Structure 1
């Protein structure tokens, strides 16, 4: 149907072009004005019909009288067909039956310079010739249709294969069911989950990850480069690198996270070496409570060690006094006991008088005995009344105890073997306590200072599992209390490390307000 219509339209346009060209030909206008138009126009029309391979070219007068025709016997006869539009000065095409049978024809007016229609030109081809042309096009049309069908089938097959590979052979129902299950798992698990692409951009995370890392609420959004995330630097570097991580510990301002990271590889490619991963899957486990219990255990261990050292020291002194008495040297025994009592009482009085906190006083007295046992000179300096009201005693024990333990370890191998603890009031209208711990050890390098508070990092024995915990707990306690923590080397004195802490005191009314809010 389309081929027939196209062939008919093409023939009609061709005949209209021929008729219009002849109608505008000056030779035709000159010929129709002569006394015998047929003598001039018939040879011209016959040569054009043979040259253009068309069935007829009829030049006629306005009254339909033919001047030319394929059959000379029809010259002088009336033209059979519609001429109304041509007489009105308009060209047109039609399919009509004439002396040569059904034909597709076009009629164009011949006008003089004044615009008067003085003749008409009709050009046409028989319907049989149009059908032949149409039939000649059918094989080409068939080939084009067949080629289109084959091309479409090939593209459909390749596209189907590509989609099957991309979806791991899963159908639409399976994909929909998997999406529902995976989305439910993503938001219901109690571990944080983050997905990054191969360019290190965060593309998806669940509610728990948003809670642990203080990220915005999970929602569909454009991938975000890991380097732009507001997360701790070590975790940001891990996400951006895409490397494998197994039970790595990363510390935020208020949390301890155990992080695992694995490349995301399709199941069918896991046994194929060198397969490029699609990205990484990172899980976060919150170990804050466990580390808090570890901190409390470390605090209790610090107090226990201090009390054990104090007990050991008093036991040695008691043995000394008993030995002096047995040697009948009562005067020396009395003098030794009095001097020891005065020294212990002086330390106790100075601590208790400055720090109105019995736990801290007990800790410092015990630490003095522990330092004496280890051969380290511990000097305590208290500058004015220290305001610890509102500060959790457990956090104070964690901070002071771990800083002193770290200083004892650093000073023990040195020649001077000295540690200095300074408790001070910040002054200038500020409420709180300043804590400075200095040791006579070798000090810290720039690289060590940058990592000294990382969980698991130690300047002593990195292989020991108990190392690298104390200072990380100190950092967390200071940040939790809203304080500041700095470390440098005390080059003006012993040259060892110096840790400076400031803890702001919470006013009693704020504590009461917080308690009321909690109830």
Structure 2
């Protein structure tokens, strides 16, 4: 909430400055005023698209989480592409468990970029879709390939690929897998030199759609 309030305050301040500039141009009423205002608005429109976004996932709690994650991605030059083809309102799961699952998977994607700052056009995609009565959540990144010899180990308790070991490392994906399976779901990972993709599936029929 503090982060959201901080973002809103900053944007309110920025909007006030832009409105003052436009008001000043109107007051001066110099030649080509309309054209100058149009050019100014066009110039700031790109910044508006990349600012704090309000996302509609069908779940209020997840809306807040993804809005904050999107702002973090923007600050770190990561393109977080969120495409909600199917709303989370169709999925029956405890709010806190859903937040833990999504947060851990997105944070895992963010962390994958940290030791590889030279990657150009960093991108994370977040998609949902339904296929054969399965609700799918797909999170992918282009941070590089997870070595094949450890792909089947990343969900193990305490396993971590981080070079700096810490007591809290190696539990995010383990906890995520446990929560998904407790809700009659499954998670898999595919990774190659171009993309790493985590795919979560929940059976809608079993969950009483």
Higher relative contact order (CA 8 A, sep 6+): 2
SS of the residue aligned with 2:200?
strand
> How far is the alpha carbon of 1:500 from its aligned partner?
0.6
Residues 224-245 of structure 1, C-alpha deviations (whole Å, 9 max, x = no match)? xxxxxxxxxxxxxxxxxxxxxx
Residue 415 of structure 1, aligned match among 114, 117, 120 = 120
Contact 1:453–1:475 (8 Å) recurs in 2: yes
1:425 match? 130
- Any unmatched runs of 5+ in structure 1? 1-303, 509-519
- What is the correspondence of 1:320-335 to structure 2 with a 5 Å cutoff? 320-325=14-19, 328-330=21-23, 332=40
Tell me by how many angstroms 1:396 deviates. Answer: 1.2
C-alpha distance in structure 1 between counterparts of 2:86 and 2:165, whole Å: 42
> Following TM superposition, where does structure 1 have runs of at least 4 consecutive aligned residues deviating by more than 6 angstroms?
none
Q: How does 1:56-135 map to 2 (within 5 A)?
A: none
Q: Which residue of 2 aligns with 1:318?
A: 12
Q: Does 1:474 align with 2:176?
A: yes
Q: Structure 2 length normalisation: TM-score?
A: 0.75
Higher-Rg structure is 1
Deviations 1:240-279 (A, max 9, x none): xxxxxxxxxxxxxxxxxxxxxxxxxxxxxxxxxxxxxxxx
Matched, 1:397 2:99: yes
Distance 2:69 2:139 in 1: 13
CA contact (8 A) 1:423 1:436 kept: yes
In structure 1, the partner of 2:48 is 340
Alignment check: 8 A CA contact 1:442 1:496 kept? yes
- The answer on whether the counterparts of 1:376 and 1:411 sit within 8 Å (CA) in structure 2 is no
TM-score by length of 1: 0.33
- What's the CA shift for 1:439? 0.8
- Counterpart among 363, 373, 377 of residue 65 in structure 2: 363
Q: Is the 8 A contact 2:127 2:139 kept in 1?
A: yes
**Map of 1:507 onto structure 2:** 208
Q: 1:338 to 1:375 in 2, by over 3 A?
A: closer
1:48-97: CA deviations, max 9, x gaps?
A: xxxxxxxxxxxxxxxxxxxxxxxxxxxxxxxxxxxxxxxxxxxxxxxxxx
Aligned pairs (5 A) from 1:31-430: 308=3, 310-325=4-19, 328-330=21-23, 332=40, 336=44, 340=48, 348=54, 351-352=55-56, 355-386=57-88, 388-412=90-114, 413=117, 414-426=119-131, 428=132, 430=133
